[in-house]
Amino acid sequence: MSELAGTTSAVGSDAPTEARFRYVLRLADTSLILAQRLGEWIGKAPALEEELGLANTALDLLGQARLFLSYATELEGRGRSEDELAFLRDQSAYLNFALVEQPNGDFAQSIVRQFLVDAYLLELYEALQHSADARLAEIAAKAVKEARYHARYSAGWLIRLGDGTEESHMRSQRALDTLWPFVRELFDADELDTQMAEAKVAPSLDAIERLWSVRVDEVLRQAMLKRPTTTPFKWYGKRGEHSEHLGYLLADFQYMQRAYPGASW
C-alpha cells in the first residue's frame, strides 16, 4: 500500500520481537476491523453529516491500522507486506477485540460500540506515547490526536441518544447491555499483555481501565444510561478466538485479493 517509508525502527525495548509483532497486530487489527465496520454505514447513515462523521472516523482508523501493519511487517521480517497481512490472514490469525467485529446494528448500537472503543483507544494511545518501543510511541502520538475527535463525536451522540426520546434511550440502553460483555476482554490482561507491560512497551491494563471507567461513567451519567453490571467475557478475540461475525466481515473485506490474487489499482 504505502510507498512512504518510516524513518525510525524500534529501539530501547527488551521484549522479544515475535511478541511485539503479535502485540502490534492486535492494535492494527482492532483499528482495521472497526474501520471496515464503520465503512458499512456508507450509503445508509441516518443523515449526511453522520455519514461523513462515520466515514472520516473509519478513514483515520484505517490510516492508523496501516501504520501499525507496516510496523508489524518490519517486526515479522519475513517479507510479508502490509496488504498480505490485511487480506490474506484467516479469522483465527486476526487478533482484534471481539467487540469491534460486532455488527453495526442500529445507529445506537454503532455509537455505543464506537464510544466504548474510542474511550479505550484514547487512554491507550495517551499511555503508549511513553512506550519503550520508540516506533509505537510515535504512532500513538499521531493517533491520540485523532482519537480525541472520534471520542468527542461518539460521546456527543451517546449523550443525545441516551438523553433523547424514549425510543432513542431504550435503543441505546439495549445496545449498551448487548455489547457490555465484550468489554471485559479490553482489560483482562493475558500473558502477552503482561509481558508487554513488564517490558514497558505497553501500559498496565488496570491503569487504563481506571481511566476508562471514569470517562465512561461520566458520559453514561450525562446520557442518563445505566452501566450494566459486569458480565463475564465470552470471547478472546485478541488471541484469535472470535465471534461468528468476523468470518463474514473478512469474506467481504478480503474477497478481491482472494478471488484475484495480487490485483492492484
Partner 1 sequence: MHAEADATPSAVVPAGAEARLQAILDTVLDPEIPVLSVTDLGIVRYARQTASGQVQVGVSPTYSGCPATQIIKSSIVAALHLAGFPDVAVIEVLAPPWTSDWITASGRRKLRDYGIAPPAESVGSPRRLLQPALAVACPRCASTATEILSEFGSTPCKALYRCTNCLEPFDYFKCI
Candidate ranges 101-109, 150-158, 195-203, 223-231; the one touching partner 1 (CB under 8 A): 150-158
Name the one range near partner 1 by CB under 8 A: 153-161, 179-187, 194-202, 223-231. 153-161
Binding mask 161-200 toward partner 1 (x if CB under 8 A, else -) reads: ----------------------------------------
Kindly tell me which of 136 and 199 has the beta carbon lying closer to partner 1. Answer: 136
| Contact indicator for 86, 32 with CB cutoff of 8 Å | yes
How many CB atoms within 10 Å of residue 243?
Answer: 15
Residue in this structure with the C-alpha cell 464503520, named with its chain if needed:
38
Shortest distance, position 66 Cβ to partner 1, whole Å? 7
Beta carbon of residue 60, minimum distance to partner 1 (angstroms, whole number): 5
- Pick the closest to residue 101 from 124, 117, 88 (CA basis): 117
At residue 44, what is the residue type?
Answer: K
How many residues touch partner 1 under the rule CB under 8 A: the total is 41
Binding mask 107-146 for partner 1 (x = CB under 8 A): ---------------x---x----------xxx-xxxxxx
Alpha carbon distance 68, 114 (integer Å) = 20
**What is the distance between the alpha carbons of residues 41 and 145, in angstroms, rounded to a whole number?**
24
Given a contact cutoff of 8 angstroms between Cβ atoms, the answer to whether 127 and 133 are in contact is: no
Q: How far, in Å, CA of 101 to CA of 214, rounded?
A: 25
Shortest gap between Cβ of 211 and partner 1 (angstroms)?
9
Q: Quote the Cα angle for 253-85-249, to 5°.
A: 20
CA distance 158 to 145: 20
Distance CA 240, CA 252 (A): 19
Q: Are 100 and 58 in contact (CB under 8 A)?
A: no
The answer to the question of residue 149 lying near partner 1 (CB under 8 A) is yes
The contact pattern for partner 1, residues 207-236, with x = CB under 8 A and - = no contact, is --------x---------------------
Give the x-and-dash track for 39-78 against partner 1 (CB under 8 A).
----------x--xx-xxx-xxxxxx-xx-----------
Q: Give residues in contact with partner 1 (CB under 8 A).
A: 2-8, 49, 52-53, 55-57, 59-64, 66-67, 122, 126, 137-139, 141-149, 151-153, 155-156, 215
